A and B are shown apart, each in its own frame.
Chain A
Amino acid sequence: MSAPEVTVIEDIRPLIALVAPLIGLIGIVWAGEKRRNLRETFTFLAAIVQASAVLSMVPLLLGGGIIEFHIWQIFTNVPLLLRVDGFGLLFACVASLLWIATTVYAIGYMRGLHEHAQTRFYSFFAISLSATMGVAFSANLLTIYFFYEMLSVSTFPLVTHMQDKEARTGGRTYLGYLLFTSLCLLLPALSWCYVWLDGGTVTMDFLADTGKVGEFSQTTQIILLALFTFGFAKAGLMPLHSWLPGAMVAPTPVSALLHAVAVVKVGVFCVIRVYSDIFGTEVLRELDGEDWLIGIACATILISSLIALSQDNLKRRLAFSTIGQLGYVVLGATLATDMGIGGSVLHIAMHACGKITLFFCAGAIFVASGKKYVSQLRGLGRRMPITMGAFMIGSLSVIGLPPLGGFVSKWYIALGALDRDAIWVVGVLLVSSLLNVFYLLPVAVTAFFRTDETEENPGIQEAPMACVVPLALTALGCFVLFFLSDPLLRLVKIIE
């Protein structure tokens, strides 16, 4: 999807989007716990600035341009380069817009629960958003690697925010998986490309060097492909997925933004980058050993859905559903057809919007009633209608029913599968959608249609406004995205 003949514009706006959270961070730390309103204002301002900077770049991109900003030279011939293309911009828009919503939500959530160390929370939140922007705007593999690591480390304090025993175990699995994969799989792969492509002169640039990997022998390409695919463990592909449920010990805003939008989506984002911009669809399609990746993706989808069925803890169920949805994205990318990749790109946005709604709802339920388990939700629908309604919408979107965003992306992925004449993949899609129905709908259903005979939850009403408004908005977003899908596709240049 990276067209060579584009007008390159030098512009600092990507850097602004990158640095805005860091500047906000200074304000946050300076305001501190004493002046919490001021502190949250800073967070909010940072989010606004970032989002506006990102959005202001959309017209340029639709005008067929590409924005670049050169930060500094890492190695000989490898600059730390920011480049905004449609794909990255789409991801950046989703992340930054949802950050605003999350900020509002977090204020309600954290204050509602009287969480401790909120300053630390907001600070590292800002850092990780900056890192996310960096990944979205990276122009070559090394740049992306930098921000990828930055994200891993900066989210650790958020995951272990509760500072208790399960937080420790969660944090250990989190860092263990992410750093192990990135340091022991990704780094060798990078240095392999750096050394063996053109004698160390390759920049690993996403525009210039697409398909250079084709010089390697088939086996080498397979090995590289595997190293990259599993190296970006944030994508949560099946053998390396269990950090994500572990990370659910984090407060809900973290789970919502980071583990439904930023972190996991960064993972699949990187995977798609590698597939489409390092290997390139042609090379990937000729790669005969590449079908097993499709297999792994499908397996991930099905198995995670099955696991999700058995989860009673709401957040864990959502986590496993996230793994499954990420499977869709990777699947679309592995299909290595424009349709498939376009579908997975869309799915990043669609699923982000849907899943964050679900997480918001889960958090709102927790704030309002302190309930964590699906089995406890009987009759909550009447008491918190907005929340549960939003939950319903989000579930439908994730399941993929029109007129909700999730439908479009799945549709394109299916088209991509058909381009590859892989009918069975379509079958897998159908089955998994069915499974989605089974593990998502019951939640809303129990909430609405099951009256709790034992009147065990008196006086529960809606969560605070700051919680409800964002989730209503995101639920709305699921509708809007369905109708925005065409401009989005045009943005990522799948269809002209």
Chain B
Amino acid sequence: MFEDGSIINELFIERLNYLIYVVLLLIGLHAMIAKNNLIKKLIGMSIFQTAIILFYVSVGVKEGATIPIYLPEHDPHGSHASHSDGNETEQSNHGPVVLDAELVKGYSNPLPHVLMLTAIVVGVATLGLALALCLRIYQGYGTIEEDEILAKIEGQEMGTKPSVVVKSVDSSKPATSQSAKPASKPKGSSSPSPKRSKASPRTKAKATSPTTKAKTSGAKPVSPKRKAAASKSTTTGSKKSPAKPKTAASKSTTKAKPKPRAKPKAKPTARAKATSTAKKATASKPKPKTPKK
């Protein structure tokens, strides 16, 4: 079945790269579209770009050719030319020469490599920027699961004006921010407004304390793991880590209490859900039991 000309032969034997890059590209594309976790989306993005790079590099392949760096006998400065035969030396004596077609066949095409150097750099830049966005989103919404983010945005949509307004308002003058917020309140239920105030960092500056406390303690549980991974001295690290939530909780009002209890047993996504529900709870009624269910 591998006779010449059959598509199997075409794709699997002679042009394997062209098949592999397509597969990689599809994997990446599917991850970018379908995955729910932003980080997984980014991983998909990297695979996607890598596939394209593979394609370009495959274009650069040339049978019987070496890397596009002059062999010693073609070195423009002829430093190595003395070791080779005389014909070369006399060429190298009067400077570099234009290689003839035969010698050109000996080197592979430099252009694709250059292009891919550029593409790689662009990919790195995009990735770094996207990671920063993920951090920012996590700060704002306490999760990097797309559906949860959308849910929270929905929650803010009702009964609030776009957060751009909030920002421009209380960055311009706080006095008007006081006047502007109640204007938006009555439309929606009471619950969205504290969550809204979590939405934009600059509102947080002026917003009521319970929300900020809840948010910090919501992001808190990351801390001990990260520190354990960081410094080998886990004893002191783990000794201090429960201490910190206590201080935060003690400084905070009773509403911030549920979080330390919700923390230890929850996995990341579960924890995010717990915190979010807990915030709803704190907004509506200070009953600490809700996050458990």
A/B: CB atoms within 8 Å of each other = no
